[in-house]
Structure 1
Amino acid sequence: MGEHRGTRGDLFDPLFGAARSGEAVSDRAFVAALLEVEAALAVAAAECGVIPADQAPVIASTARSLGEDIDLAALGTAAIAGGNPVIPLVRLLRDRCAAAGIPASSVHTGATSQDITDTALMLLAGRAGRIVVADARAAAEAAAGLARTHRDTLMVARTLGQQALPSTFGLLATTWFTTLDAAADRLETVLTGLTVQFGGAAGTLAALYPRGTAVADTLADELGLARHPIPWHTDRTPIAELACALGVLAGAVSKPATDVVAMSAIELGEVTEGTPGGSSAMPHKQNPVAAITARAAARRVPGLVSTVLSSMDHEFMRAAGGWHAEWETITDLLRLTGGAAHRLADSLRGLRVHPEALRHNLDRTGGLLLAERVTLALAEHTDDARAIVTAAATSGKPLADDETIAAYLSPEQLRELLDPANYLGHAGELVDRALSGRNIAPTGHSPSTPSTGGPR
């Protein structure tokens, strides 16, 4: 058996796409980040003259070695007494540093457990969050490629579950990548602004006065985090903004994943994943597993966002429970959103689009989805245009065969009016504009699709 990695997702992280994001927020990664903050605090304290300069390298190297061989289970058990793992972790670090001649007062100088935990969580969020963004960008890039290739591939637009008007697959894929791009941009902005959290026992930095603010700023610089003007012990907007950005991205992932699942149904047959999944009981099944698992991971995210938002009411200078509720919630948000984005990228990169099935479904109503256009043309000849077309649409016959309509419009006019390719509005232009906004120029249009053909 391999060494346990200290995650809560060894079984399911690969399935739900969170192998990388899950590893980045694993228990071992969390402890390593806590020790990284302790090491950086020693460096900052030395630079600001709080501890002797020669002690910082020893504390930093000791923290690194402790992270490599720490017993996570024992640390977790030891955390019960104080309510967080920093307390026993600092005890272990001080014991090891003492063996090297470093006094306990030089370790964890001027800090409280929340300073170390919050700042470590920001480090984890930055690292895992960039994996999430990269996977979201990969999914958006795949969707943009589909939009470019299928700019003019006809399909039916569906509203409220019903056929509405002609559209193109390219325009549908455009909604996918523009939504993903916007959500990834928002998350990236939040990640860029992640800040240090350092305020001492009660947010006053009293133990480090008059060097407290200098230590806080130096700590931020040492860790590559943004400086923050004051400690945010009980101002949880930085955590909430991160959670909300992850929630929006998970929602952006859900849209294309939901479309892929629906369009993969045998009754539609409009798309298939490149490597569909099978069934343990039914040999014929070709399940869009990547899109399915993307949806599954994303569906768990809104509840976690709600947990973060409902935990913002931190009382006084440190919350009793609200703070503790954030730790696993944020790491789970990063795991799940990252997994959802990763699985969607898998789905879209290999997605096969079937123009003949798209056209077959477009033609299923016998031209009824162009009733709006026929009504507009007929209105030039009679005030009863809407009533005539409504009656024809409910007769069960194709509009082209309706005698009342034919009394006003010639067969040639009807053929032109009932050609879905002639009623696409700005669809192609909208695809081009969106692709241009990504600095991806359209590389040509797909060939025209056949007018007939059954679903695949």
Structure 2
Amino acid sequence: MSDTGGLFDGVLAAGPVAESVCDGAWVQAMLDFEAALAWASAAAGVIPEAAAVDIEKRCRAEYYDIAALGAAAVRIGNPAGPLVRELTASVAPEAAAYVHLGATSQDVLDTAAMLVTARALIALRAGLHACADRLAQLAEEHAGTVQAGRSLLQQAPPVTFGLTVAGWLGGVVAALDRIDVLRGERLAVQFGGAVGTLAALGDNGIPVLRGIAFRLGLAEPVLPWHTERSRIAEIAGALGQASGAVAKIARDITLLAQTELGEVFEQGPPGSGGSSTMPHKRNPVAAVLAAGSAAQAPGLVATLLSAAAHEHQRAAGSWHAEWRPLTELLRSTGSAVEWLCIALDRLRVDPARMRANLEASGGLLLAEQVAIGLVAAAQGAVGRQEATDLVAACCLRAGPDDLAELLAADEVIGKYLDRSRIDELLDPTGYLGSTAAFIQRAVQDWRSRSAGYR
């Protein structure tokens, strides 16, 4: 039995990044290295140009049986060796001697990892950019939509939904920043030969290295990094950060969509968000799947970081341990971003429900403002701690609708704050501080730089 995709791929491998990290993409990236090596060697006078032409013609993934390469990989411990053998056998006899000249298997696979990552990041960045645009729009639309703030899952002083979304936007923008630094500086060619000396190329090692980097559009490293794995660690960190930004947003959406809150919901196509047993359900399924995809990242990041200790000039196992978790981390992060884009497109906001939830406590969320107002009105006669204690005592006795009355009836509070002033202090729209300014700053910051992310 065979199929075109994995059972869980539609859920946990959604979006275009998955195609960028498939087996065929890895094989093509390895072949791209071999073609670049041939042309760089020809440019340095190491091999004939005719050989480079012939080698490049055979550097197409569709010419090779990927399953057979995988099966043959067990003989030497990696798929680069079998691929080089197949490539060598497929070129003209006069070019065969020049295939893979000066390189080792790790050069092929490490450079392929950089190429696969670079290509996957193009799609990942596009998805994050789309999410940021939608978040900026939402933040502006709901800059004045008052919402209960929440601290330790309990209601806290008011915010606006626009500020909540601006916070989400900040995480996405930070992830984009990290990815751009990575793409611009840290995705580099690996080329060192057997032990990092390029001895097989004599004095031509550096020119060939430089030529490979130029042809592949990767950075030229100062020296081979075959056992110095900070580049892999930085990729892991950037992807983990992006997944974390998605996870934060997805978790907030799923919490705000709970029946008891009902402040947001997803409006997807017919059939989306349903349940196999409960006809009434309207699950925020895209946010759920974004959270599920993002949740894969911490373990994968940890695996890549734990594999960083590469002994001597070639690691026995640590290098091999990187291939699958790197692929899965790229795939799961891409899936998380894809589902977040869908969730944000489907997201609907219920301002009336937000206001109702905010007012359900009968003004308790504005207790801090009442205490501050009391201190100001008393002009030094009541200190901050005393004011807080007095207001807290009233809050403990208050029912759903009588907080204002209790505050006004208090001997000390009522002396300095009349009922009209207390009502003003219990108005959530009057205790938003710099909310509007923060939203404007976040949106303007994104829009001023977004052209550079395209």
| CA distance in 2: counterparts of 1:27 and 1:118, whole angstroms | 15
2:420 maps to amino acid: E
**2:433 alignment counterpart:** 425
Q: Give yes or no for the alignment of 1:401 onto 2:393.
A: no
> What SS class does the counterpart of residue 372 from structure 1 fall into?
helix
Contact 1:13-1:339 at 8 Å conserved across structures: no
- Deviation at 1:39? 1.2
Q: Give yes or no for the alignment of 1:227 onto 2:209.
A: no
| CA distance in 2: counterparts of 1:372 and 1:321, whole angstroms | 58
Is there any run of 5+ residues in structure 1 with no aligned partner, and where? 442-456
- Deviation at 1:408? 4.1
2:330 aligned to which of 334, 340, 361: 334
- Deviation at 1:386? 2.9
Q: Give yes or no for the alignment of 1:129 onto 2:129.
A: no
Q: Give yes or no for the alignment of 1:142 onto 2:137.
A: no
| CA distance in 1: counterparts of 2:397 and 2:388, whole angstroms | 14
**2:369 alignment counterpart:** 373
| CA distance in 2: counterparts of 1:34 and 1:387, whole angstroms | 69
**1:413 alignment counterpart:** 421
- Deviation at 1:409? 2.3
- Deviation at 1:71? 1.6
How many positions carry a matched residue from both structures? 433
> What SS class does the counterpart of residue 6 from structure 2 fall into?
coil
Distance 1:295 1:388, change over 3 A: same
> What SS class does the counterpart of residue 14 from structure 1 fall into?
helix
> What SS class does the counterpart of residue 171 from structure 1 fall into?
helix
> What SS class does the counterpart of residue 46 from structure 1 fall into?
helix
- Deviation at 1:406? 4.2
Distance 1:334 1:11, change over 3 A: same
> What SS class does the counterpart of residue 167 from structure 1 fall into?
strand
Contact 1:17-1:342 at 8 Å conserved across structures: no
Contact 1:75-1:88 at 8 Å conserved across structures: yes
Is there any run of 5+ residues in structure 2 with no aligned partner, and where? 450-454
- Deviation at 1:75? 1.0
Distance 1:159 1:95, change over 3 A: same
| CA distance in 2: counterparts of 1:391 and 1:324, whole angstroms | 63
TM-score (norm 2): 0.92
Contact 1:48-1:211 at 8 Å conserved across structures: yes
2:63 aligned to which of 69, 80, 86: 69
**1:245 alignment counterpart:** 238
Q: Percent identity?
A: 47
Distance 1:440 1:268, change over 3 A: farther
| CA distance in 2: counterparts of 1:12 and 1:102, whole angstroms | 47
Distance 1:392 1:258, change over 3 A: same
1:120 maps to amino acid: A
Q: What is the alpha-carbon root mean square deviation over aligned residues?
A: 1.6
1:356 maps to amino acid: A
| CA distance in 2: counterparts of 1:115 and 1:311, whole angstroms | 18
- Deviation at 1:57? 1.0
**1:353 alignment counterpart:** 349
- Deviation at 1:17? 5.1
What per-residue deviation string (whole Å, max 9, x for no partner) do you get for residues 276-327 of structure 1? Answer: 5100110110101111111111111011111111111100001000000111
What per-residue deviation string (whole Å, max 9, x for no partner) do you get for residues 324-350 of structure 1? Answer: 011111111110111101111111122
Contact 2:374-2:416 at 8 Å conserved across structures: yes
Higher helix share: 2
**2:265 alignment counterpart:** 272
Contact 2:81-2:105 at 8 Å conserved across structures: yes
**1:387 alignment counterpart:** 389
TM-score (norm 1): 0.92
**2:277 alignment counterpart:** 281
**1:449 alignment counterpart:** none
Distance 1:3 1:12, change over 3 A: closer
Contact 2:55-2:95 at 8 Å conserved across structures: no
**1:87 alignment counterpart:** 81
